[in-house]
Amino acid sequence: MTESPTQHPYYTIHDLPADTRPRERLIRLGAESLSDAELIAIVLRSGAQGVNVLDMATGLVRHYQGLPRMNEASVEDLCVHHGVGEAKAAQIKAAFELGRRLMLASPTARPQVNSPAEVAQMLMAELAYADQEHVKVVLIDTRNYVITTTTVYKGSLNSAHIRVGELFKEAIRRNAAAVIIAHNHPSGDPTPSPEDVVLTRKIVEAGRILNIDVLDHLVLGHQRWVSLKERGVDFGKRRR
């Protein structure tokens, strides 16, 4: 029996039929027709010794459970993976940064959010099953378009140790009109704790002083979420 290329541990991308190679498929069908792994494979260009680049890209996408978490990975995190040295890690980070800059340069391509459900949906893929707590700040312009989303804290968090000013640093730098705070509960239960409510009130008060509206604070669990605004926390009226 003849062994197919996909069964051989040392086959390369050039062993694939020409019309199935990611780069040729992109040229023929357009970038939108490729999977996440195929696009990453094109960015990486080649695999490690004895490793097919498409297999390596597929392994990365599976490890990070998609592009959002891969985007959050540092160069050091990426270099842990077999075949990904500093050069390839830098290529991946550069590709994500180009995408971020394109989004900023094209306001109409950025998501417009008008409800907590839309924000929760935007963040759910990344945070729903994260095994560590993340605190994110969604920066909003005057027309409710998302400017960017930043991760301010990650790991085992104690709300008493969170510096409220840190949550506004990027908003001030980007001249954001408003922010939405979000964090996840790795337990899967999005019920806000008393500490979550106290922290929210401190954030809202800081926003008033800085003239930056705090529109909501979302707590995400396993495919469920809670809006503290809908739970009755006073966020005040948005200034225009």
Asked whether residue 52 carries a pLDDT value surpassing 70, the answer given is yes
pLDDT above 60 for 210: yes
34 pLDDT band (50/70/90 cuts)? confident
Architecture of domain 5-105: Orthogonal Bundle (1.10)
Say whether pLDDT at 200 is over 90: yes
Q: What is the pTM of this model?
A: 0.59
What residue spans define the domains of the chain?
A: 5-105, 108-227
Using the predicted structure, report yes or no on whether residue 126 has a pLDDT greater than 70.
yes
pLDDT at position 109 is 65
Q: Which helix (H) or strand (E) segment is 97 a member of?
A: helix 86-105
Give the pLDDT confidence score for residue 83 in this predicted structure: 87
CATH for 108-227 is 3.40.140.10
Residue 151 has pLDDT above 60, yes or no: yes
Q: Going by DSSP bridges, is the β-strand pair 133-140/225-227 parallel, antiparallel, or unpaired?
A: unpaired
